[in-house]
Structure formats: C-alpha cells, structure tokens
A and B are shown apart, each in its own frame.
Chain A
Amino acid sequence: MTEEITPSQTVGPFFAMRLPWPDGPFVVPADTPGAITIVGRLYDGAGNVIPDGLVETWQADPAGRFAHPDDPRGPSAAGYASFRGFGRCPTAPDGSYRIVTLKPGPLPAPDAGQGATEAPHLDVTVFARGLLDRLVTRLYFPDAPAANEADPVLVSIGDAGRRDTLIARAEPAELAEPADPTGPGTVLRFDIRLQGDGETVFFDV
C-alpha cells in the first residue's frame, strides 16, 4: 500500500514558545575536549537579519560514523557517548545562532567513484516564517582544502563563488560572539543568506 505524503507548511513565527530545548545548540557539552563553536547569522534578500529562524544540524561523529541503524558500518568503536549528532538553535533578535559540536570525520561515497569520500560536513536545515518548506544546505570546514576539492557535492557546484558559500570561515578569536566557552581558535562562522548577493547554495535532498 502506498500513501501520499503530507505537504510542508511554514514553521511560522511562534515556534520559539518552547520548541527549542535549552541544550539544543549543544551537540556535545561545551567542555568536551575538541569542541568547536559554529556561529552565524541568517539574512534575507534585503540583507536584513532574520530574528525568527530555526537552524538545525545533523552530522557524523569525528570517526565519520552515525549511531543509526541505516549506517551499515555500525557505530564508532571509540564511542562518543555525549555526542548526539543533532543541534537545534533558534536565531536571536540579531539573526545569530550558534552550535557547539565536534568536527565530523570524512565519509565514504563509493557511488561517486572508487575510493571517493565526502569531506567533513554538517547537513543544515533552516526553518523560518516565510519559508513554506525547509531549506537544506551544507557546512564544510576551511581547514580541509584538499578534501573539499575532492568532495563530490562541492565538485557538482560549478561556480567557485557559489561553492564558497558552503565553506565556514575561521573566526578571529576577538570577534567570536558571544564569549565562547570552547576557547580561541575554535570558532567558525557560517552565515546563511536566503536570497540575493552571496546567496547560499541550497539543496534538493
């Protein structure tokens, strides 16, 4: 028996009543060794910040594994007990969000060729008032240029300028916001522009 799927509708402006849970931005506790902070702002097509958005992230653990039954390789032997892979943060009045996590490992992508791998990345979902369906993008890491160069998804985006919208930037420690518990040198900036100049690449997943 097949069923017709249920259509998407906007998250609206009022999800923040309690949909975000207090530790939502923490994929790992802030004091986890190796933790990094991802900060960024959400912008609309007029360059204004979006104060009523919701950003969610999903990613592999540092060994490139998922504690999930559909990862046929099974979970990491090392185990990342406090790592849940999932982050959720509403945007603040200044359009900012932040996620505290661990950098994921690379992933095998055998369908893209012998020995092909996907560079470390986070899948990112954006919800907001005015978005009738979720937007999906990806965050890649600036300290993995060779892996990014070979990543089949990045390669599929012909335009280098557009591709660069998916690569986070190392944030100078003095610009880190707000005061960051994970320490200097571990803050990455990933701004998301829904429309217009510098529009982020979004995916049909």
Chain B
Amino acid sequence: MTADVSPGGLVLPSYGRPRGVHPPLDSSGYRSTALRHPKQPLVLLPQRLTEVTGPLLGADLISPTDSDLTMQHAGEPQGQRITLAGRVLDSGGRPIPDTLVEIWQTNASGRYRHAREHHPAPLDPNFTGVGRAMTDAGGNYRFITIVPGAYPWGNHHNAWRPAHIHFSLFGRAFTQRLVTQMYFPGDPLQPIDPIFNSVPDPKARQRMVAEFDIDLTQPEWALGYRWDIVLRGPQSTVFESEVDGE
C-alpha cells in the first residue's frame, strides 16, 4: 500500500478525493434535495487518524440466513429468484476483504416493509428485504434474493423509481464509507429517474447498473447478476508530503 509520509513520522494512507463522480447535493430534479443541501461550501478536511481508520464491523453482526433473503421466513417469497454477486474493490483495483455489505430492497411488487410506506401493492409475508454479508478474502460478496419491483413516488407527476437494491459499504476507512443503489440492466425507467440521473457523468451512471451473468445463473434455479463496487482507494501514486501553507 502506498502511504503519505507526514513530517512528524506518522505514516498514514492517503485517499484520493473523487471529483465529478458523486451527485451534486443540490440536484433540482430531485425535490427533496431543496431544503437538505448545505448552502455553504464544504471545508477541506485533511485525512488524519480519524479519517484513515474506520469501523471494522465483523461477522458477529451476521447470521447465516442474512445473505439469503429468500430463506428468512417460513415460506419462499414471490418473484424472480436471483443470485447477486460481485466484488468490493478500491480504486487501485485491490479487493477489500472482510468488509460488511448491507442491502435493502422492495419485494417483487415494489413494496418496502416499512411503516411509512403507502404504496398500495401487496406485502409479501415471506419477504423482509434486508440482507447482510461479509466479503471474503478476495473481496467477494454474494446474496440470494428476488428482483425488486418499480414503485411510484411523489417527486413529480407519474414518477416511478426504477427497480433497485440499496447498498451500504464501509471499506476499511471512514473516507471509504459509501451508500448507493444498484440498478438492473435494460430498465426503461432509468433514463427518466431523477435520482439515477443525478450522477452527472453518463459513464459513472452505468457503473451503478449490474450485468446479467449467464455463468452465475444456475440451471433450473436462479438468474445471476454481477455487480462490482469500487470505493476510493489509497493513492496509486506516491505523493510528496504536504507542505505547510501549500
């Protein structure tokens, strides 16, 4: 791992600051951003000990059925069964092992199991829609679930969210924390969804879309989708120590 050598002798990794990848906090197409984005510019926070470390949440939070969302109830949920697998990497292409991956999603009819959810679609008594897994030594994660449904929301007239699965990732440093959404290929709602399109770069948007994978597909059982997640990594080149006043 490359490291930033500080003058006082503490050797800490240094994480790149991505520009132009994440959505702007003020994103007019998504109405809820209007009153929730800061108006003042963000202040640059040097990466010191608190930022380059982070919670290494472990397997004690995980039970065996947490990664199989079709096995959390007495019966099997309705919907298209899928295996969803991929790797968690950093921007240097290095796998991130032993890191917690959390997901949540609607059921097959587009309904979340949540008290404030008012979409008049049926709940599925056999589906909660929440999963957890740890990546293995190679950064691999794997869930078994069902394809979530699209659902209406109040952002504008006739607004529908494309099918998606929420992902929460920790990596190994506070700087790497990421919450995002995974989408499915070929969904006609993506081009008209303000949240998907809040990501300014079209190529970056496509990095949120999983790939159908026939090799991951299991005969007579389940379709396979593959999605790799890339978190900020320690700098891939060696930088000079920051000089005071620079």
- Interfacial residues, chain A to chain B (CB-CB below 8 A): 1-19, 21, 44-46, 48, 50, 52, 56, 58-60, 66, 68-73, 84-86, 107-114, 116, 118, 121, 123, 125, 127-136, 138, 152-153, 156-157, 162, 194-196, 199-205
Question: B166 near A50 (CB under 8 angstroms)?
Answer: no
Q: Which residue of A lies closest to B183 (CB)?
A: A9
Residue among B49, B104, B172 with max Cβ neighbours from chain A (10 Å): B49
Question: A8 near B180 (CB under 8 angstroms)?
Answer: yes
Main secondary structure of the interface of B (DSSP, over half): loop
The verdict on B2 contacting chain A, using a C-beta distance below 8 Å, is: no
Q: Which single member of B9, B18, B35 contacts A110 (CB below 8 Å)? A: B9
8 nearest A-B pairs in the assembled complex, by CB-CB distance = A110-B8, A130-B32, A86-B55, A203-B45, A132-B23, A1-B93, A68-B53, A130-B36
Q: Which single member of A4, A18, A127 contacts B104 (CB below 8 Å)? A: A18
Cα of A96 to Cα of B205 in the assembled complex, Å: 34
Question: A9 near B180 (CB under 8 angstroms)?
Answer: yes
Q: Which residue of A lies closest to B231 (CB)?
A: A5
Main secondary structure of the interface of A (DSSP, over half): loop
Cα of A114 to Cα of B7 in the assembled complex, Å: 9
Known: A123-B51, A128-B36. 17 other contacts (CB 8 A): A2-B93, A3-B228, A4-B204, A6-B180, A6-B207, A7-B199, A10-B30, A70-B172, A86-B55, A129-B36, A130-B35, A130-B36, A153-B46, A156-B43, A156-B44, A201-B40, A205-B174
Report 12 cross-chain contacts, Cβ distance below 8 Å, ordered by A residue.
A5-B91, A7-B22, A15-B168, A46-B35, A56-B177, A72-B10, A73-B10, A108-B10, A111-B10, A130-B30, A131-B37, A203-B42
The verdict on B216 contacting chain A, using a C-beta distance below 8 Å, is: no
Given contacts A2-B93, A6-B229, A195-B38, contact A201 B43 (CB under 8 A): yes
Question: A8 near B23 (CB under 8 angstroms)?
Answer: yes
- Interfacial residues, chain B to chain A (CB-CB below 8 A): 6-13, 17-18, 21-25, 27, 30, 32-40, 42-57, 61, 89-93, 102, 104, 112-114, 116-117, 128-130, 166, 168, 172-175, 177-181, 195-196, 198-199, 203-205, 207-208, 228-232, 236, 241-242, 244
Question: A17 near B128 (CB under 8 angstroms)?
Answer: yes
Residue among B55, B172, B204 with max Cβ neighbours from chain A (10 Å): B55
Given contacts A3-B89, A130-B33, contact A19 B10 (CB under 8 A): no
Q: Which residue of A lies closest to B48 (CB)?
A: A109
A5 to chain B, nearest CB (A): 5
Question: B231 near A16 (CB under 8 angstroms)?
Answer: no
A106 to chain B, nearest CB (A): 11
Question: A133 near B36 (CB under 8 angstroms)?
Answer: no
